Copies of this chain bind each other. A is one copy, B any other.
Amino acid sequence: MLKGFLKAHDDLIVKNETNDRVVQYKNTPVEGKVGLVTGGGSGHEPAFLGYVGENMMDAVAVGEVFSSPSAQAFYDAFMAADSGKGVACLFGNYAGDNMNVKMAIRKAKKQGVTVKYVTATDDVASSPKETKEKRHGIAGGVFMWKTAGAKAAMGADLDEVIELAQKAVDNTRSICVGLSPCAIPAVGHPNFDIKEGDMEFGIGHHGEPGINVQKLKPAKEIAKDMAKAVIDDLEPENGAEVAVLLSGLGATPIMELYVLYDEIEAYLKDQGLSIYKVLIGDYVTSLDMNGAALTVMKLDEELKELLDYDAKAPGLK
């Protein structure tokens, strides 16, 4: 997969010279710019590696399927991304990633490279609101990477990039619904089950148990339930502007995403929200899972400008 990815995107992305599991923007390190790094397990394509590019991530650590990249891979990504201005590591708040990122940060510090991090915690189903720092990052990472990528490109220093990434996370919520399980290739069969005719509301990006298992509902009701779960947690004020990301999970036909979006839009408008930007397609997936992830980010003028900022990466449309 990685070999095919590098061949397909050699106009923008190259392999790290010392680590086969690190891919990087061809012009990294970018002189005078804070370096940006992410990483995570494979199986979520185009995440994570598809968000490397111009005014996006500078380097990405690539893990085995559904497994954290090694600390060494994160370290090598940091060293590749650093132009002397420090590095922001923006990842998804899973236990393995957290551990390896922190080890890599200590190692980088010994080399005189400052790395700070922000974890995306957008999945409202993964922990209650009172412990939202424990939540996992899912498709909301895309908004964090896009806005932080722009912020760094505009010349912000490391603390400003970190502050912006945390602001993006604080204003972003997501929820998934799964209609079928996914199979890790090396295992060859799904490691969890969703029965035909059932759906799992709030399922995680690796099949983590969701809020509940329900009988499959019409798209209109699924869309409303997803939008309500996200908005009830985000609590945007009436009249707020939002960005919406509706991602397929890997085996979801694009047609079905548009069917859902029609109803999601209606719900958001009913809540008095104004939709500034919409992304629909496969942005963060879970191997061959059928289902969708809805992400909503509450916007201000700064986030709007950063979302609109020119960028180029294989995962972006």
Contact = CB atoms under 8 A, between A and B. Distances in A.
B287 A45 contact: no
A265 interface: yes
Nearest to A265: B7
A253 B316 contact: no
B253 A4 contact: no
Contacts of A251: 251-253, 288, 290
A28 to B, nearest CB: 21
Contacts of A263: 4
A251 B180 CA distance: 12
Interface in A272-292: 278, 280-282, 285, 287-288, 290
A187 interface: no
A3 B5 CA distance: 34
A186 interface: no
Contact of A285 (B1, B254, B280): B254
Interface in A3-41: 3-5, 7-9
A4 B45 contact: no
Interface in A245-276: 250-255, 257-263, 265
A233 B255 CA distance: 32
B317 A258 contact: no
Given A281-B282, A282-B281, A317-B317, A43 B8 contact: no
Nearest to A246: B8
Contact of A4 (B1, B8, B46, B265): B265
A314 interface: yes
Question: What are the 10 tightest A-B residue pairs by CB atom distance, in nearest-first order?
Answer: A4-B262, A4-B258, A4-B261, A251-B251, A45-B254, A3-B262, A250-B253, A1-B258, A8-B278, A45-B255
Interface of A: 1-5, 7-9, 42-43, 45-46, 250-255, 257-263, 265, 278, 280-282, 285, 287-288, 290, 314, 316-317
28 contacts: A1-B255, A1-B259, A1-B262, A2-B258, A4-B258, A4-B260, A4-B262, A4-B263, A4-B265, A5-B258, A7-B265, A7-B278, A8-B265, A8-B280, A43-B253, A45-B254, A250-B253, A250-B254, A251-B251, A251-B253, A253-B287, A253-B288, A254-B282, A255-B287, A281-B282, A288-B290, A314-B317, A317-B317
